[in-house]
Structure 1
């Protein structure tokens, strides 16, 4: 059983105003301080999304393997705020964990840009091998925000291959996106990718996108099939075109102080649970992708192949533009070589 602890922590989230309870249990004294808690994890996806399913199972497994000392409660649908806000809340300890895109982390350390570039990963299996079986350079990158921001990256979840979807018709070449406004994540790199695809970039919070497409604030967006379907974007942007411009990546982050408070035994259980979680997520993703295509098609969406050659040169130039340091080049090269 989980034991409630007081006082109750009120998270300073204007958009949610939630009362968030903390939990604790006993533990051995090696490693951390021996306390435990039911950690709050912020997620911007629905309960049907593979990220929610795998992370919810992670939380339950962690509770069982630590005899109730530790657990994870997943808060979906941006309940704890959009990603930028969740990132800050994890940093200051108001929220314990979050799933954030690479775009959010590259705003804190530009070296994360190397893993967000077009064509750095050939497919999901390649991506997960690099991110969740990290070599020395990747391990250093994941620890790089600990002193400055009190954040530790524990690994990543694939976003699948990202493509373009639009309100106005199928896209076959960059010319089809000329003059069209495309929602992008909030980073210079994502702006450049949108421009390379031929569109005018419009940074926008993910939770605002459905309304933005519906109202004409934006004409297009880019994402994977799963998010396209689970967020019902196919209802307002029914044309999905396979640009496959990047294999997207979400990172799972945790407050560093919270992670370091775990005993060695509990940290081992946490690491084991995380390994099972990302593996489950990857398995779920393949089936979810096909289910999403089927569901969106039934809802009126069309899926179209593009002229790959028309996009390739422009996308290659993005990597050349954004690799600015030797360390970024090393991360990029090692990733392309599979570590």
Structure 2
């Protein structure tokens, strides 16, 4: 069982800040090598170590160590060893975990405005998407969780989400009728899949491979790197490039830990996080192309589809929005040029 701990204060005038949180592990084994007076921030997430987001987090760890001259490090626990996505978020809220990667879709359960990302066909293209995330709208959304003890540090590219299935090729929205499709625990995602005639089935990401293999669901929806790195191509041989949503991943930090950090440490962590976001975006472009090629080599057929037909099918999802904040966000996003 993983045992929570509390970061204890220490004075380190040599590095020019007053309060420095010392490296008592919040959970998991000691991986720091025992450096004296080293702050250790623990980061847990559910992705495997080959995923571009995990690689970006390793980049962030290196940058934090470089910026702080070794006084700050990050212990990274991948593959859900510290719990599911929601469990890690809850650990941030109680201060027993420093950081986690979560999808913006999971965050809508804590911050209703995050549901805007789960709405289908909100962004014109990738450039429009990143103008929004790196602008005022994205910055404001990162801060929305602070009342829930969740501070957003940066976004990671998760590309566009697409349907993939075991047996039925999805060439038109009607091909989804009657199929059980895995979705994240997101009401908006479930409403979207329902609008296309499929049965939305929330399943934890770490349990999806077995659910697909056992026939619990007929398919799922995600981006190419996640499809490939988790070897879903072994059971799903049809991948449709419908690009229904662009839902970013988010690096979140516990405000209970962040607020105890000296401003200099906060600056290091924030800088390393943003640099890791920039690094990950470039890596993601390469990995997305490679992932589709890998899938094709494994016998997956990739389909180009009429995106307009899918967008028309889910128009009622937009019409049914009754949250005024989300409606206002949609208008703001549409005005970003």
What is the TM-score when the length of structure 1 is the normalising length? 0.87
Query: Match for residue 100 of structure 1?
Result: 102
How far residue 257 of structure 1 moved from its aligned partner, in angstroms, is 2.1
SS in 2 for 1:143: helix
Answer yes or no: is the 8 Å Cα contact 2:11–2:19 preserved in 1. Answer: no
How far residue 95 of structure 1 moved from its aligned partner, in angstroms, is 1.2
Query: Match for residue 166 of structure 2?
Result: 167
SS in 2 for 1:160: coil
Distance 1:338 1:32 in 2: 42
Answer yes or no: is the 8 Å Cα contact 1:124–1:158 preserved in 2. Answer: no
Distance 1:319 1:253 in 2: 28
What CA deviation, in whole Å up to 9, does each residue of 1:129-183 have, x standing for no partner?
A: 322x341x54443223223x21111221121011000001311112211111000
Would the alpha carbon gap of residues 32 and 107 (structure 1) be closer, same or farther in structure 2, given more than 3 Å must change? farther
User: Is 1:142 matched up with 2:128?
Assistant: no
Would the alpha carbon gap of residues 33 and 25 (structure 1) be closer, same or farther in structure 2, given more than 3 Å must change? closer
Indicate the larger mover: 314-323 or 106-115: 314-323
What CA deviation, in whole Å up to 9, does each residue of 1:265-304 have, x standing for no partner?
A: 2222222212210001000001001111111111111101
How far residue 307 of structure 1 moved from its aligned partner, in angstroms, is 2.8
Answer yes or no: is the 8 Å Cα contact 2:6–2:96 preserved in 1. Answer: no
Match of 2:3 among 4, 10, 19: 10
Answer yes or no: is the 8 Å Cα contact 1:127–1:158 preserved in 2. Answer: no
How far residue 32 of structure 1 moved from its aligned partner, in angstroms, is 7.4
Match of 2:326 among 304, 325, 328: 328
Answer yes or no: is the 8 Å Cα contact 1:105–1:112 preserved in 2. Answer: yes
**Any gaps of 5 or more consecutive residues in structure 2?**
23-38
Answer yes or no: is the 8 Å Cα contact 2:56–2:277 preserved in 1. Answer: yes
Matches within 5 A, 1:309-320: 309-320=308-319
Indicate the larger mover: 308-317 or 282-291: 308-317
Moved over 4 A (4+): 20-32
Query: Match for residue 195 of structure 2?
Result: 196
Answer yes or no: is the 8 Å Cα contact 2:117–2:246 preserved in 1. Answer: no
Distance 2:221 2:128 in 1: 21
Matches within 5 A, 1:16-55: 27=12, 33-36=19-22, 37-55=39-57
Query: Match for residue 275 of structure 1?
Result: 274
Would the alpha carbon gap of residues 260 and 62 (structure 1) be closer, same or farther in structure 2, given more than 3 Å must change? same
Distance 1:23 1:236 in 2: 48
Distance 2:176 2:314 in 1: 15
Distance 2:334 2:126 in 1: 13
Distance 2:289 2:6 in 1: 38
Aligned residues: 319
Would the alpha carbon gap of residues 150 and 245 (structure 1) be closer, same or farther in structure 2, given more than 3 Å must change? same
Matches within 5 A, 1:182-331: 182-325=181-324, 327-331=325-329
Distance 1:323 1:288 in 2: 37
SS in 1 for 2:274: helix
Answer yes or no: is the 8 Å Cα contact 2:105–2:118 preserved in 1. Answer: yes
Query: Match for residue 337 of structure 1?
Result: 335
Match of 1:65 among 56, 64, 67: 67
What CA deviation, in whole Å up to 9, does each residue of 1:58-94 have, x standing for no partner?
A: 0111022112232222211111111011110111111
What is the TM-score when the length of structure 2 is the normalising length? 0.88
Query: Match for residue 118 of structure 2?
Result: 116
Distance 1:286 1:127 in 2: 14
Distance 1:86 1:32 in 2: 29
Would the alpha carbon gap of residues 169 and 260 (structure 1) be closer, same or farther in structure 2, given more than 3 Å must change? same
SS in 2 for 1:168: coil
